[in-house]
Amino acid sequence: MTFLDMLRDATTRNDSMLCVGLDPEPSRFPEGMRGDPHRIYDFCAAIVDATADLVCAFKPQIAYFAAHGAEDQLERLMQHMRCNAPHVPVILDAKRGDIGSTAQQYAREAFERYGADAVTLSPFMGWDSVQPYLEYHGKGAFLLCRTSNPGGDDLQAQRLASVPGQPLVYEHIAALAQGPWNKNGQLGLVVGATYPHEIERVRALAPTLPLLIPGVGAQGGDAVATVRAGLRAQGPIIVNSSRAILYAAQGADFAQAARQAAQHTRDTLNAARA
């Protein structure tokens, strides 16, 4: 199955648009694990097992593993997800952006070492920084388009005088991803939930692409506004929540609390479809 096939299947099977982001911070782990980076796998695997029937995707953020020298635990976690939640696609949140042989190595890391179904990328260096990932047929690649951080305005909200119509940078990225860059139908876009009117603008420019939408939960994005702005019949959305689910409780019941938080978020998103 391609990434898009897996996404559609998980969305239907689990009746979900929710993605759980796996951003492990040992200092926030529950009692008995707290402060121990060697328990990253144990913590994340428990979250996966508790929420696998509630999500359309999982999104491990590679920096939270690499900062603790826990890449081996990420490899174990990826294997755990393939064995215990094989119907749920995994998006490796790496935000890579480089060219030539370096991009090829990053693509190999994402798809061969970790076995991800999709990866997040920065398109700043242009088409040849994206192309190596698309050589892995069936895999997905999400380009940063309109991010949820305030500093995104510094570049993404600037006009391109050299392009007909003088679009904003994020509009140009959306048009490229929907059009000439999407050679094999593998591209998607990252759009922050904190800007619902801009989600709607991206959706107008990229009506069929999957949108990965972080920022719901701890970052304050409005789940209902996000769904109404981004969801279309031919354009799926993947709404990510990380901290609000991972750290819903600090005790031994952390996994059950995470499940309850995920179920509440999933149900809120589903209700917005009406």
Which two three-digit tokens encode residue 88? Answer: 């749920």
State the Cα–Cα distance between residues 55 and 51, nearest whole angstrom: 7
Look at residue 192 and give its three-state secondary structure: coil
Q: Is 59 a catalytic residue?
A: no
Look at residue 236 and give its three-state secondary structure: coil
Report the chain's terminal Cα–Cα distance, integer Å.
30
Helix, strand, coil percentages, rounded to 5, for the chain:
45, 15, 35
Alpha-carbon distance values, 100 to 106, 117, 127, 177, 226 (Å): 10, 22, 11, 20, 36
Catalytic residue among 59, 95, 139, 183: 95
DSSP secondary structure, 187-238, as one string:
EEEEE-TT-HHHHHHHHHHSTTS-EEE--BSTT-B-HHHHHHHH-BTTB-EE
Q: Which helix (H) or strand (E) holds 71?
A: helix 71-84
Active site residue ranges? 95
